[in-house]
Structure 1
Amino acid sequence: MNLNILKDSFVGFVRSHGMTRHFRRLAVLDMFKGSAASREVPPSLAQTLIAAAQADTAALLARLNSRVDGLTEAEADDIRAQVGLNEVQHEKPLPWWMHLWQCYKNPFNLLLTVLALVSYYTEDMKATIVIGTMVVLSTLMRFVQELRSNKAADQLKEMVSNTATVLRRDPEQRYSHDDADAALRLLDMTLHPKGVKRIELPIKHLVPGDIVQLAAGDMIPADLRVLTAKDLFISQAAMTGESLPVEKFAVHRGSEAGNPLELDNLCFMGTNVVSGSATSVVIGTGNQTYFGAIAERVTASDRGPTAFQSGVNRVSWLLIRFMLVMTPIVLLINGFTKGDWVEAALFALSVAVGLTPEMLPMIVTSTLAKGAVTLSRQKVIVKRLDAIQNFGAMDVLCTDKTGTLTQDKIFLERHTDIYGQPYDAVLQYAYLNSYYQTGLKNLLDVAVLEHAELQREMSVASAYRKVDEIPFDFERRRMSVVVSEREDHHELICKGALEEMVSICTHAWEDGRAVPLTTQLLSQIRATTAALNGEGLRVVAVAAKDLPPTKEVYGVADESDLVLIGYIAFLDPPKESTRPAIAALNRHGVEVKVLTGDNELVTAKICRQVGLAVQGMLLGAEVERMSDAELAIAVESTTVFAKLSPMHKERIVRVLHDNGHVVGFMGDGINDAAALRAADIGISVDTAVDIAKEAADLILLEKSLMVLEEGVLEGRRTFANMLKYIKMTASSNFGNVFSVLIASAFLPFLPMLPLHLLVQNLLYDVSQIAIPFDNVDDEFLQKPQRWNPADIGRFMVYFGPISSIFDITTFALMWYVFGANTLQHQTLFQSAWFIEGLLSQTLIVHMIRTQKIPFIQSRASWPLLGMTIVIMVLGVMLPMSLVAHYFKLQALPISYFYWLFAILLAYGGLTQAMKGWYARRYGWQ
């Protein structure tokens, strides 16, 4: 059997159907980024996209049976019935028979199948039935567990879905306008057009012909043709390899292109809006998108290995190497000493099966699924199952500030002139800016629009009409609207971060007049805003200028020679749960670091309020100047990183990961998406922008951060129970093989038949089914836990031979006391070791599951306790039952069980003593 196939299947269960069919679009795009595959779409699809890009607006809408004011609900339903949901084929679950095949086709089942066939052709029907039962049980248990976990995951994920802003037309009305392009512009300029409503529609319900409005932070939900655009920049890096965002326009501005990706009036599913706004029409959904065509040609894969996957990989290789070394040795010893090479080969294959933890995929799936369901009760949605274990291994949590540490509600605390004195005019300007912008409305805009004083004066906006807007982006860190109160002039109103605002201002408003912005005045302005920041207020500057009414379209170049009017200052209070959550995380060995684009003074104030000790602070400009080596040193001693760009956040997370930390990142904005992807575990909230929710592994439905503590603890319980199974199986299997080697060298017959080994292994595996539901000692939950193959190997070497000591004692007992020392009495010998081996293996479950004294200081859960009792009773009764002769076993004398009780008692005592010594020397992971 090919070793790579063995390794891939053994390790690959974490990428099996049960976990990877929930892949993310971005992960798939990462896989073929920059490759030739990204150009290989069907010619018919490429021609369709190119034709859509070249068509004028009216003709394209007519071809799609759509209008500028969108489809009606009935029209959309009819189209959806014809074309199906907007889902790529790979995102749909496998049919049950394919899933069943996936659960069967691993090397261990194949090995057992080969062994069953060999037994069948040698007319050993008993072995055939037992081995066949093992294959069926192993496959069905995994199938059922994965089916249940997939169903639970689907139900949980349905609670969090990305949406698109879609226009829906009232069937009784029609937006009448002869010129489609002019009609679109009027729709863009009108917040509430007559007969048209804007709705948030789940992405999977989109259909060709839907009119979609885009803003910063949106995922591109399907293949779109841009109809109107305002400074629209799309990140296509995952699809094309271009690192910089690409600007999109309503009309293709380049030369003729044969590759749809080069057309700058098309947007493609799976990319995202970095800045700007647009109105567009859906031209392709599901598999009829560029992404869908590529996904059909490329095998979907998750992103690069996480800490969990890498750990399983290393542990798996450890067990595989052990199996590959020990199996040939067993074969050679038994072949040479017994002379029957066929039976020796069957025995060696049985040993190989016994050495492989074939139930590990089922144990992991069950444990992770249980963790996901438990977290769902805490209102945490798990999008990727293996993220649960990473949660428990996390030792550094990086978090954004706004909306995560602080409340999801920002309050407009002050509106002042340039000297910090109350000033109503600046509030009116800010209100007009927030009211008329149609791009990314953040919490600051919501706070302005909901301000009590302005709610009484709603007429302030009705006196103006909107002319145009210049959307927000993270490079400029500002946005502008152009409005007109009278037709003889236009007013450009801009608000944004202080430094970016003063860079485009030449004057400031002082005592009712515009005065030049001198160096001295600029120093006063910075001192005023610093004082406001020191009070924990977030300051946004507001500026304006009058313009002649000579044009209707404005751009970034028009943001110049502005007059600074004043500031609006926001109170961003911390969540009530932040302080206890940070304290709880620190108690459990998780260090919290703040990564924010906000001002360092405001951030420091918030940190003091939530009890986060700031040991060091770095600004984005300093991070920019550092090499990776310098940053790797600095991140270890820095608590707060302020004034960061999105790329700074991602770089810091990657550096922490490269330093050996398991890194979590919590954020909810478009500027957090890159860091969420780079982290071992990305955490977001249900109110986050689309791209942040898409990149996250966990979604919090509740604003309380205390669920983070429960998530960490659940992750550690999950890891603890998986580790129990591996340690139990590895150590007991090592001891069994060691006993087999000794017995094979000295006995004139096999110490146990292949059939016995298989039945014993089957019963032992069944006893482990309840491990995912076992209790975990509190001591194990106090610090981050991660895979340590060296520790597992050492554990196996130290604890495995303990069982061999008592196996050899059993051999001596049967040989000298009960006279089972000839070929005629081998069944008595084999029956005795069958019972002793099964009971000692089952006993070790309770010994190794805890560092404490089992049954007294630490008790297993009732499901695990009940399952082990049932298996032990079944194992003792089998040699005494009516079917014993079918398994080539026989009843044992009553006196044997007195000896057996003493052997098991001594075994438990020696194991407990070894546990104490081992824990003092190496620790008890």
Structure 2
Amino acid sequence: MSTPAYAQDVPAVFEELGSRPDGLTGAEVAAARERYGSNALPQAAEETWWQRLLRQFRDPMIYVLIAAAVMTAVLGEVVDTVVIAAVVIVNAAVGFLQEGKAANALAAIRDMLSPSSEVLRDGAWVTVDSAELVPGDVVKLRAGDRVPADLRLFRTTSLRVEESALTGESVPADKQVEPAPTGADLGDRTSMAFSGTTVAAGAGRGVVTATGEDTEIGLITTMLEGVEAAETPLTRSMSRFSSMLAVGAVLLAVLMIAVSVIIYDTGWADVLMSAIGFAVAAIPEGLPAVMAITLALGVQKMADRNAITRRLNSVETLGSVTTVCTDKTGTLTRNEMTVRAVHTRGHTYRVTGTGYAPEGQLLLDDAVVTVHDHPDLARMAEVAAYANDAGVDKRDGRWVLTGEPTDGGLRTFALKAGVRDEAPRRAEVPFDSAFKYMATLDDMPHGPVVHLKGAPDRLLDRCGRQSCPDGGTEPLDRGYWEERIEEFGARGLRVLAAAWRPGEELEDLTEEDVDAGGFVFLGLYGIIDPPRDEVLDAVRVVQEAGVRVCMITGDHASTATAIAREVGLHGSRAITGAELEKATDAELQTIVRHHDVYARTSPEHKLRLVRALQANGEVVAMTGDGVNDAPSLKQADVGVAMGIKGTEATKDAADIVLADDNFATIAAAMKMGRTIYDNLRKAIVFMLPTNGAQGLVIFVAMLVGMTLPITPLQVLWVNLITAITLSLSLSFEPAEPGVMRRLPRDPDASLLDSEAILRIIYLSVLLGGATIAVFQYLQMNGASLEVSRTIAVNTLVVGQIFYLFSARFARVSALRKELFTTNPVSWLCVALMLALQLAFTYLPFMQSAFRTTPVDAVTWLVPVLVGVVVFTAVEVDKLIRRRVG
């Protein structure tokens, strides 16, 4: 359509679609289906299990190990081949099992579509599968129906549609036949009903203007398909690290081969086995498994705190987030409308408490008041109780609304005031979006009364007088009330008004009776969807961690600004969807640097905002609960969905689901993410000196032409048991002090800084040099090759145990009581490590497999002495850094 359907008159829409109010004929439907296709959303291809399994092998370090396994097989070293292959398979299996099945958000969106529809064809109403709808079909809507396609409404009766999943609106939208202005935001297109939304009240008819992927919800699925899953900072860092390590290992192995063949004329079989041994020594085979297990432990800990992680790497990514983009309704706020203020001619009363729980106080100048002492407040509570069809009840320890959210807020206010609708209702005029009020005729103890509530301008038109604080009346001062209405609106409050008049002469109540006027204007209700109680502290904690918090909502700008100010977000005003629409991508990157609040946004706006932040180098977490949030959640580095009020589409597009819909849980999960990254880094810095030492031993041995102090199979043993036991114990380290008071790490920064690299180098030299020295000393003193190699391996292992004690504390001294109290798992792992090493040394079948031999107890003093030297060296290094820093 040249002009959008929502902005056209109904006859023009019918004409453009080739339809009419009495629907299409069978022939017209067939022609339209041929042209437009089925009213269905596209199917998404799912990743198969074998594709996911093959993906686990895409790692340069794994490529080197696979090559090593092939070469040992060619050389006939069956045991080495089996062990190396087992390492590769175990690593892949751990990643495969932990990652789980890829989610399909598009399937969840398809489930939102209505299965059947009541449609007018060939002059008769028939029920058809919604997939058979075509543009031009005339569809009937009733309360509770799910809208089957995008409809231009041409008949409405008190029609209200729940669109929060699509637009982010806190309350159902009133629908009308009159066209909306061209360029209206999605939430302001009052002449349309959108596919996937739900009819909350009333009835209506509409003509189908779009089906399938051409609908607003279809556009969301198209955006979802176009969003590529971004690599996490950890994945990028590990990929660079693995590539550098693998390339370095291969180049040095080639150099060793060249030196051995050219200078020492060593046989090719021995040279290749030594090169394989070096490559295996340089590659931390246990690192992928340690990473996967550490992340899995983090997943479990986060689940205990109501953050359910669907993708493993997201655990760590949340700890490196620099900007959190959050929806308002249901995330920062409770999604429960609450009366915050009541204004009468004499007073402004403040109402405490949030949500539908009738727990709170009525305050005047911070003093608690009751309706018994304030007649003006009593009248306001009376109208809230009687001109109301909603109910709030306590179920399973939770207050639950039955009816409209705004009416629920008014009902709760009345209950806080102690007023209940106990008098019988004689008649009523239900709320209708055409006249925007509700009126009831109630048999009150002092006589029949008409209670009236609704839009302030409609009630002011029907009132000639206003209530005084003492209960009397005076002429209406419309200008005064319009100023108060503007003040409430500026505070982001949804404003409703209350009025009443005696109804002795009425037997029934009609719209004409209400429009006849004669009402007394009582005052205004200021209503808002309030922030969650814990959000203020959570936002402060996140901001103290150097993380920006941005609000992106489909709600009105004034409401968004008010909530942002209340929860402590930065920014003087909200940027609207209309402003975002006009901005180029380059301009948007500038806008997102300086503004944190965005209102009246569409799904496309949210997606553009996330991309603009990422283009500025931000690591973005996006929270949401509606299907309109799904594309931006998928685009974000970490998508966070609400578990209670979130749609299935949102949950499937997200990486993390909050079981309690609580923004405060994000702050706790961020702390966990930072702790996990710290522990992963500790594990890497702990593991690499072992690899460096082993690589150095083999490299030096080949360069100088000496016998290898440790065999390739013994190298694998040391790598695996230190990874499985000692390295893994670092996953249980608690958070370091001040973890949430430091800035987020640079996502492009190297996994290892200069301090870590220097420590790895000098520890590699220290451990490797000690191992070579011990081996050479034993060889020169007549010890057998098996004894020398056994004690050399023990030296490496015990040196690593002593290093673990120091590595648990990155900068502070390890000589503290926390060494014994904060991580008991580390001591269990040390005990397991020693048990395995004793088995390696003394059990016959282990001796046969690894070519070891029993050694005297006194020989263990040598590894212990080396361990003490290692521990002392690291502690001195930390002391110097603390003094210099």
TM range (shorter): 0.5 to 0.7
Q: Is the 8 A contact 1:350 1:754 kept in 2?
A: yes
Task: Say whether residues 1:533 and 2:477 are aligned partners.
Answer: no
Using the TM superposition, give the Cα deviation of residue 188 of structure 1 relative to its aligned residue in structure 2, in angstroms: 3.5
Change (3 A) 1:57 1:267: same
User: Among 411, 414, 428, which residue is 2:338 paired with?
Assistant: 411
Change (3 A) 1:416 1:776: closer
* Alignment-derived partner of residue 808 in structure 1: 769
Q: Is the 8 A contact 1:398 1:593 kept in 2?
A: yes
* Alignment-derived partner of residue 164 in structure 1: 112
Counterpart-to-counterpart distance in 2, 1:527 and 1:167? 48
Using the TM superposition, give the Cα deviation of residue 886 of structure 1 relative to its aligned residue in structure 2, in angstroms: 4.7
Using the TM superposition, give the Cα deviation of residue 614 of structure 1 relative to its aligned residue in structure 2, in angstroms: 4.0
Counterpart-to-counterpart distance in 2, 1:176 and 1:643? 35
Question: Matched residue of 1:570: which SS?
Answer: strand
Q: Is the 8 A contact 1:650 1:675 kept in 2?
A: yes
Question: Matched residue of 1:776: which SS?
Answer: coil
* Alignment-derived partner of residue 827 in structure 2: 865
Alignment deviations for residues 876-911 of structure 1 (CA, whole Å, 9 cap, x no partner): 553444343553334445554323222210111102
User: Among 135, 139, 143, which residue is 2:93 paired with?
Assistant: 143
* Alignment-derived partner of residue 665 in structure 1: 622
Question: Matched residue of 2:780: which SS?
Answer: coil
Using the TM superposition, give the Cα deviation of residue 325 of structure 1 relative to its aligned residue in structure 2, in angstroms: 3.3
More divergent stretch after superposition (775-784 vs 409-418): 409-418
Question: Which amino acid is 2:85 matched to?
Answer: V
Question: Which amino acid is 1:537 matched to?
Answer: L
Question: Matched residue of 2:737: which SS?
Answer: helix
How many residues align? The count is 707
Question: Which amino acid is 2:486 matched to?
Answer: A
More divergent stretch after superposition (659-668 vs 643-652): 643-652
Question: Which amino acid is 1:683 matched to?
Answer: V
* Alignment-derived partner of residue 742 in structure 1: 700
Counterpart-to-counterpart distance in 2, 1:88 and 1:303? 18
Question: Which amino acid is 2:322 matched to?
Answer: D
Using the TM superposition, give the Cα deviation of residue 700 of structure 1 relative to its aligned residue in structure 2, in angstroms: 2.1
User: Among 330, 353, 373, which residue is 2:256 paired with?
Assistant: 330
* Alignment-derived partner of residue 191 in structure 1: 143
User: Among 443, 456, 461, which residue is 1:509 paired with?
Assistant: 461
* Aligned pairs for 1:699-848 within 5 A: 699-767=657-725, 770-771=728-729, 773-779=731-737, 781-782=739-740, 783=742, 784-785=744-745, 790=750, 792=752, 794=754, 795-816=756-777, 819=780, 826-848=785-807
Question: Matched residue of 2:723: which SS?
Answer: helix
Change (3 A) 1:829 1:711: same
Q: Is the 8 A contact 2:120 2:139 kept in 1?
A: no
User: Among 77, 94, 97, which residue is 2:49 paired with?
Assistant: 94
Q: Is the 8 A contact 1:879 1:892 kept in 2?
A: yes
Question: Which amino acid is 1:303 matched to?
Answer: A
Q: Is the 8 A contact 1:57 1:181 kept in 2?
A: no
* Alignment-derived partner of residue 534 in structure 2: 577
Q: Is the 8 A contact 1:149 1:369 kept in 2?
A: no
Question: Which amino acid is 2:723 matched to?
Answer: D
Work out the percentage of aligned pairs sharing the same amino acid.
19
Using the TM superposition, give the Cα deviation of residue 353 of structure 1 relative to its aligned residue in structure 2, in angstroms: 2.5
Counterpart-to-counterpart distance in 1, 2:83 and 2:28? 60
Question: Which amino acid is 1:815 matched to?
Answer: Q
Q: Is the 8 A contact 1:419 1:528 kept in 2?
A: no
* Alignment-derived partner of residue 342 in structure 1: 269
Task: Say whether residues 1:901 and 2:864 are aligned partners.
Answer: yes
* Alignment-derived partner of residue 840 in structure 2: 878
Counterpart-to-counterpart distance in 1, 2:384 and 2:279? 76
Change (3 A) 1:53 1:805: farther
Structure 1 residue runs without a partner (length 5+): 1-50, 65-85, 193-197, 202-212, 220-228, 234-243, 251-262, 276-289, 434-440, 470-478, 486-494, 514-520, 543-565
Change (3 A) 1:307 1:118: closer
Alignment deviations for residues 754-804 of structure 1 (CA, whole Å, 9 cap, x no partner): 233233333333325734742234237333346565351632344223231
Counterpart-to-counterpart distance in 2, 1:341 and 1:58? 72
Alignment deviations for residues 538-596 of structure 1 (CA, whole Å, 9 cap, x no partner): 34899xxxxxxxxxxxxxxxxxxxxxxx9874133322112222233244443333344
Question: Which amino acid is 2:217 matched to?
Answer: N
Question: Matched residue of 1:779: which SS?
Answer: coil
Q: Is the 8 A contact 1:596 1:644 kept in 2?
A: yes
Question: Matched residue of 1:381: which SS?
Answer: strand
Question: Matched residue of 1:272: which SS?
Answer: helix
Using the TM superposition, give the Cα deviation of residue 411 of structure 1 relative to its aligned residue in structure 2, in angstroms: 2.4
Change (3 A) 1:162 1:697: farther
Question: Matched residue of 2:640: which SS?
Answer: strand
User: Among 112, 128, 132, which residue is 2:82 paired with?
Assistant: 132
Change (3 A) 1:675 1:743: same
Q: Is the 8 A contact 2:557 2:599 kept in 1?
A: yes
Structure 2 residue runs without a partner (length 5+): 1-25, 129-136, 149-159, 167-175, 181-188, 196-207, 349-375, 391-402, 441-453, 466-476, 499-522
* Alignment-derived partner of residue 850 in structure 1: 809
Alignment deviations for residues 197-239 of structure 1 (CA, whole Å, 9 cap, x no partner): x6999xxxxxxxxxxx9974669xxxxxxxxx99999xxxxxx
Question: Matched residue of 1:749: which SS?
Answer: coil
Question: Matched residue of 1:133: which SS?
Answer: helix
Using the TM superposition, give the Cα deviation of residue 531 of structure 1 relative to its aligned residue in structure 2, in angstroms: 0.9
Question: Which amino acid is 1:872 matched to?
Answer: L
Change (3 A) 1:378 1:135: same
Using the TM superposition, give the Cα deviation of residue 710 of structure 1 relative to its aligned residue in structure 2, in angstroms: 1.8
Question: Which amino acid is 1:719 matched to?
Answer: Y
Question: Matched residue of 1:770: which SS?
Answer: helix
Counterpart-to-counterpart distance in 2, 1:615 and 1:334? 67
RMSD (Å), alpha carbons: 5.9
Q: Is the 8 A contact 1:215 1:273 kept in 2?
A: no
Question: Matched residue of 1:397: which SS?
Answer: strand
Change (3 A) 1:123 1:718: same
Counterpart-to-counterpart distance in 2, 1:894 and 1:396? 57
Question: Matched residue of 1:764: which SS?
Answer: helix
Using the TM superposition, give the Cα deviation of residue 355 of structure 1 relative to its aligned residue in structure 2, in angstroms: 2.4
Change (3 A) 1:54 1:774: same
Change (3 A) 1:755 1:603: closer
Question: Which amino acid is 2:736 matched to?
Answer: D
Counterpart-to-counterpart distance in 1, 2:217 and 2:426? 35
Question: Matched residue of 2:245: which SS?
Answer: helix
Q: Is the 8 A contact 1:756 1:834 kept in 2?
A: yes
* Aligned pairs for 1:640-655 within 5 A: 640-641=597-598, 647-655=604-612
* Alignment-derived partner of residue 910 in structure 1: 873
Change (3 A) 1:912 1:456: same
Change (3 A) 1:402 1:526: farther
* Alignment-derived partner of residue 15 in structure 1: none
* Alignment-derived partner of residue 329 in structure 2: 402
Change (3 A) 1:530 1:916: farther
* Alignment-derived partner of residue 470 in structure 2: none
Change (3 A) 1:333 1:908: farther
Question: Matched residue of 1:707: which SS?
Answer: helix
* Alignment-derived partner of residue 304 in structure 1: 230
Question: Which amino acid is 1:356 matched to?
Answer: I
Question: Matched residue of 2:844: which SS?
Answer: coil
Counterpart-to-counterpart distance in 1, 2:617 and 2:119? 59
Counterpart-to-counterpart distance in 1, 2:772 and 2:74? 33
Work out which of the two has the higher radius of gyration on C-alpha atoms and give 1 or 2: 2
* Alignment-derived partner of residue 311 in structure 2: 384
Counterpart-to-counterpart distance in 1, 2:427 and 2:639? 40
Counterpart-to-counterpart distance in 1, 2:726 and 2:42? 38
Counterpart-to-counterpart distance in 2, 1:635 and 1:756? 55
Question: Matched residue of 1:721: which SS?
Answer: helix
Counterpart-to-counterpart distance in 2, 1:53 and 1:107? 60
